């Protein structure tokens, strides 16, 4: 009798349809199965701490603790547990921050249908799954003077998360609800972001994000009205 054990995967995404779609793809492969599902960072950590999974398939944007801070916490507690990020964000900056935080791979939801199984197998085997563009960015980050230092790179992981949501059109209240923070805390983050990036308004942040490929023109065009901190 075979002793083969499939890779146990935690699917972490706050959208039911996305989780169902990922489950169908995963369960179509004999060497892997969905062992647990999570809709927020608290549930992710609970499943991981119970030792239920061999790999975390993690949406970058979930309610509460998520994204890079969640990746860092998972890797601090379980350094050998592979994390494969699955996100709608195609920009290399999100991928670079995820990999630097300890993720083993970065896959966009757009390409999940064709690349998910391959990515899971690669990450489960201890290797990285990243695009050539992300690999180039990672290499450039360790080469002093090889590229212009962009001001958003001075932001902390939490500040970058707030910055990303705001330039995509989220209000202070929206960001607070999404990240489970107080509006006052988000306003403080906003003020620090503007100070660190030497800018005066949300409209300037949006223009910067468009010019540097963090969001597209269509994404950011509606986020031009600044709010009071």
Sites in the chain below the pLDDT cut of 50? 1-2, 146-147, 218-229
Residue with tokens 């999404």: 178
Phi and psi, residue 87, nearest 5°: -150, 160
- Of the candidates 1, 26, 2, which has an alpha carbon nearest to the alpha carbon of residue 12? 26
Phi and psi, residue 198, nearest 5°: 55, 50
Number of residues in the chain = 229
Q: How many CB atoms lie within 10 A of CB 166?
A: 24
Question: What's the pLDDT score for residue 65?
Answer: 80
Dihedral class, residue 175 (left if φ above 0, else alpha if ψ from -120 to 50, else beta): alpha
Question: What's the pLDDT score for residue 13?
Answer: 94
Question: What's the pLDDT score for residue 92?
Answer: 72
Question: What's the pLDDT score for residue 149?
Answer: 64
- Of the candidates 63, 16, 67, which has an alpha carbon nearest to the alpha carbon of residue 177? 63
pLDDT per residue over 124-146, tens digit each? 999 999 877 777 777 766 555 54
Q: Which CATH class is domain 7-140?
A: alpha beta
- Are 151 and 197 in contact by the 8 Å Cβ rule? The answer is yes
CATH code for the part of the protein at 151-220: 1.10.10.10
Question: What's the pLDDT score for residue 1?
Answer: 41
Q: Do domains 7-140 and 151-220 have the same CATH topology?
A: no
Sheet holding 32-38, edge to edge: 32-38, 7-12, 55-59, 83-87, 105-108
d(CA 217, CA 70): 29
Q: Could you state, in order of their start, the residue ranges of all structural domains in the chain?
A: 7-140, 151-220
Question: What's the pLDDT score for residue 148?
Answer: 52
């Amino acid at each position: 009798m075979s002793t083969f054990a499939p890779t146990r995967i935690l699917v972490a995404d706050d959208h039911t349809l996305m989780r169902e779609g990922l489950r169908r793809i995963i369960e179509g492969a004999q060497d892997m199965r969905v062992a647990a599902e999570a809709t927020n960072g608290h549930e992710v950590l609970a499943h991981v701490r119970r030792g239920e999974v061999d790999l975390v398939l993690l949406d970058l944007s979930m309610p509460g603790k998520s994204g890079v801070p969640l990746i860092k916490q998972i890797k601090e507690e379980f350094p050998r547990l592979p994390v494969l990020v699955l996100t709608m964000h195609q920009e290399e900056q999100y991928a670079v921050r995820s990999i630097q935080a300890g993720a083993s791979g970065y896959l966009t939801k757009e390409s999940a249908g064709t690349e998910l199984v391959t990515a899971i197998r690669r990450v489960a085997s201890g290797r990285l799954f990243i695009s050539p563009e992300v690999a180039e960015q990672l290499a450039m980050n360790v080469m002093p003077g090889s590229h212009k230092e962009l001001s958003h790179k001075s932001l902390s992981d939490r500040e970058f998360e707030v910055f990303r949501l705001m330039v995509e059109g989220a209000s202070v209240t929206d960001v607070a609800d999404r990240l489970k923070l107080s509006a006052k805390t988000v306003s403080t983050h906003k003020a620090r972001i503007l100070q660190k990036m030497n800018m005066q308004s949300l409209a300037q942040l949006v223009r910067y994000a468009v010019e540097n490929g963090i969001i597209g023109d269509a994404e950011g065009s509606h986020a031009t009205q600044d709010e009071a901190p």
